[in-house]
Structure 1
Amino acid sequence: MIVRWVLTIGGLLGLAAASALTIEKIAVLKDPGHVPSCSIDPILSCGSVMRTAQAEGFGFPNPLLGIAGFAVVTTVGVVLLAGAVLPRWFWLGLQGGVTLGVVFVHWLIYQSLYVIGALCPYCMVVWVVTIPVFWYTTLHVTRWPLLVKYHGVFLTLWFVVIGLAVLQAFWSYWIS
């Protein structure tokens, strides 16, 4: 059951990225001149991203949602690794949460690429783990044979599309 490993590892990586973002956000709030560790160049720049309205989509820093959400995801993964069998209603609730998470992440991807014009490396870690967490939770809940059989192909195509969007959005920077 791959979902338990995806939830555990994805949850831990997402929790680490959300925690790092929260620490960097606090540092920026304390010192507006602080340059976050994830600000590498004009495109890979957490500082540019975290100073936007999109970084507080619900009126507070987005990484706080990540800390809460990824703590739940990690806990569920560990519980599954311990051998627990969770009831259908629980899985449906988890599906609802990860669906909201993946929709929000895609809104943030769009905002980063086409509105803000910068990429936050820690945010991209959140993107990279949220998608498989959503995907494998969905596969577990729905068990659609075609999706289960070709789970890796669909997931790979999903990441290829996002990768192409990143290349397209910053093409002029990459080729210069």
Structure 2
Amino acid sequence: MSSEQDQPKKKNAFTIIKDDSTDGHGGYGAGTVSLENMSPVIVDPAEAQAYVDMDVMHARSKVERRVKIIPNRDEVPNGKLYWFVWVNVERNENGPFYAGVAGSEFIVDRSIKRAYKSMPQHVTHMEKSLKGKIVVEHMDEPSKKVLKDFLVDFDEDMWKNSTDELKQALPE
């Protein structure tokens, strides 16, 4: 089985502002939340890498497969830490930028086929990202650095166009 590093580097695109289904018509779908501008980024601090994985949206990412998700962190004492970071992209007069960024913990132990995930935390962080909030203060510094490097490398113009709040929340 090959690792992520063995595979060629893919440059997945962040979703940038698509059509708004709630354009005032008031019909079916009015008032629903659109996830079209959101992309989940998996941060792997142990390997110092990050990548977009849209399968996280449906709990089908490679990291989540073939393990039982449990809500108790204590049952996964020797797990490997990942961060599922919900990145929302918006557009202003200067173009697209990283508007909302919120990281949620995911710990997996393949040896016992168990993983810890707090669904309430993931849902809350996804919602905060959609609202343009920056929620990364609970992430460890190496993970924040990997995330920042990924966002800058992915699209330096989007990074430059992002808020000072995001730039201050992620280390140099």
Taking structure 2 as the reference length, the TM-score comes to: 0.24
Relative to the length of structure 1, the TM-score reads 0.24
Hey, which of these two has a bigger chunk of strand by percent?
Answer: 2
Instruction: Name the one with the larger helix percent.
Output: 1
Which structure has more relative contact order (CA 8 Å, sep 6+)? It is 1
